[in-house]
Amino acid sequence: MSFKVIKSGFLSLIEDYGRFGFAQYGLCQSGVADEHAYCWANHLLENHFNDAILEITFGGCELKALTDSFIVVTGADLDFKIDGKTQPLWQVISIKSGDTLTWSVAKNGMRTYLAVKGGFQTDQLFNSRSVTLREQIGLQLMEEDELLSHANSSKVVQHSIPSHFLPDYKPDLTLRLLPSYQFDQFDQQQKETFFNQRYAISGASDRTGCRLEGQRIQNIPSTMISEGISYGSVEITTQGLPIILLKDRPTIGGYPKIGTVFSLDLAKLAQNQSGSTVSFELIDIETAQKERRDFNTFFAIN
C-alpha cells in the first residue's frame, strides 16, 4: 500500500509510456501528455522508462502516504507541498508514512507528474496501465482510492535534474512541423495562412486534441477518405482551423492534414493552457529522427 486519495483533483490519471500494438483494432495510443517530464521523473528514480505515474492536471489533488517511499514530482509547478511545506520539483524526495502531499493551483505549466519508486501498480489492460477516458479504459482518480506501488526498500540515490535540462514552460511556443500527409495538396496561400500567424489555444482542448483558434484557412475540402492518424498530426477542419492530434486521438480520421508536429515539441505543448499561443515552422525528418533517437537513447526507451 502506498497512497490514499483524499482529493482527486480536476483530472488525475494513471498513465505510462502508452499502449502499442493494438492500433489496427481501433485502440488509441494513450499514455502521458508530457513525455519529457514523465521520462525525467522515472529516470531520476532509476525506474523503468514505462513505469506508471500519476498525471495531475491543474491541481486540486491531495494524497496521504501510507508507507515510506521515494518519489519525484516533475512537470508543471502546481504548488506542490508536503504537510504544507513547499517542495522542490525534479529531484528525489523521501516521504514518510502519514505525510500529506498537495497540489493546489497551476503556477507555471498545467500538468505535473508524480512518480514513485518502482511505479504505480494498477491493473494492466492491453499491455498498458494508461487510463483512456474516451475509450472507457480505466477511471480517473477518485476519492478513497488507494494507489499501490512496489514495496521497495532498496537504497535510492537522491538524484536531481541537471539544471540545463530544466524546461522553461513558455506561454508562446513555436512547434516544429514535419511536412507529411497532404502537405503538398495545400496551396501557397493556404500554407501562408498557416505558417504566418500565431494561433491561440482553445479551451476546448484535451488529451485527444489541441484545438487552435485564429485566422481561418480558406477552401478546405469538406471530407476525405478516413486514414490512419499519427501522434501530432495537424488536421485542418472544414472551418479552416487546426487540431493537433494528441495521445488519446482515435486511430483513423477524415480531415486533411497539413503535417505532423515533432513529438518533443508536443511535450512542451502539454504544459500550455488555453489562451497561450503557438506558431509553426518546418523541420526535416533527419533532424527530427536524430533528436528523438538521442532522447530515446538517453532514457533507455526501446
Partner 1 sequence: MAGENAIIIYFGDRVSSDLIEKISFYTQLLTDELAELIIDVVPSYTSLMVSYKLNLVNHDGFCQQVEQILLSKSVVSDSYSFKVIEIPVYYDVDVGLDLEDLLNYKNLSLAQFIEIHSSTKYLVYAIGFSPAFAFLGEVDERIRKPRLQNPRIKIPAGSVGIADNQTAVYPANSSGGWNIIGKTPMDLSLDNPENLTRFIVGDHVRFIPIDKQQYLSLGGLL
Binding segment for partner 1 among 97-105, 113-121, 131-139, 156-164 (CB under 8 A)?
131-139
CB of 189 to partner 1, least distance (A): 23
**Per-residue mark of binding to partner 1, 255-274 (x: CB under 8 A):** -----x-xx-----------
Cell numbers given for 7: 482529493
SS3 breakdown of the chain: % helix, strand, coil, rounded to 5?
A: 15, 30, 50
Of the residues 105, 166, 204, 285, which one makes contact with partner 1 according to CB under 8 A: 285
CB of 301 to partner 1, least distance (A): 8
135 belongs to the binding site for partner 1 (CB under 8 A): yes
Q: Contacts with partner 1 in 151-190 (CB under 8 A)?
A: 178-181
Between 161 and 301, whose beta carbon lies closer to partner 1? 301
CB of 21 to partner 1, least distance (A): 6
**Per-residue mark of binding to partner 1, 20-49 (x: CB under 8 A):** xxxxxxxxxx--------------------
Binding segment for partner 1 among 75-83, 146-154, 194-202, 219-227 (CB under 8 A)?
219-227
Do 278 and 199 contact (CB within 8 A), yes or no?
yes
Between 158 and 226, whose beta carbon lies closer to partner 1? 226
Using alpha carbons only, give the angle 244, 176, 217 rounded to the nearest 5 degrees.
50
Binding segment for partner 1 among 77-85, 129-137, 188-196, 236-244 (CB under 8 A)?
129-137
Do 17 and 31 contact (CB within 8 A), yes or no?
yes
Gyration radius of the chain's alpha carbons: 20
Of the residues 84, 85, 86, 136, which one makes contact with partner 1 according to CB under 8 A: 136
Cα–Cα distance measured from residue 109 to residue 43, given in angstroms and rounded to the nearest whole number: 21
Cα–Cα distance measured from residue 183 to residue 190, given in angstroms and rounded to the nearest whole number: 10
Between 126 and 195, whose beta carbon lies closer to partner 1? 126
Between 50 and 251, whose beta carbon lies closer to partner 1? 251
289 belongs to the binding site for partner 1 (CB under 8 A): yes
CB of 261 to partner 1, least distance (A): 9
Do 39 and 267 contact (CB within 8 A), yes or no?
no
Cell numbers given for 291: 533528436
Of the residues 2, 233, 271, 277, which one makes contact with partner 1 according to CB under 8 A: 233
Do 95 and 101 contact (CB within 8 A), yes or no?
yes
Q: Which residues does 109 contact at the CB level (< 8 Å), separation at least 6?
A: 75, 76, 77, 78, 169, 271, 272
Do 187 and 62 contact (CB within 8 A), yes or no?
no
Backbone angles phi, psi at 218, to 5 degrees: -85, 155
Of the residues 10, 126, 195, 299, which one makes contact with partner 1 according to CB under 8 A: 126
237 belongs to the binding site for partner 1 (CB under 8 A): no
Q: Which among 257, 109, 216 is positioned nearest to 173, based on CA atoms?
A: 109
Bridge partners (DSSP) listed for residue 81: 86, 102
Backbone angles phi, psi at 44, to 5 degrees: -65, -30
10 belongs to the binding site for partner 1 (CB under 8 A): no
CB of 230 to partner 1, least distance (A): 4
250 belongs to the binding site for partner 1 (CB under 8 A): yes
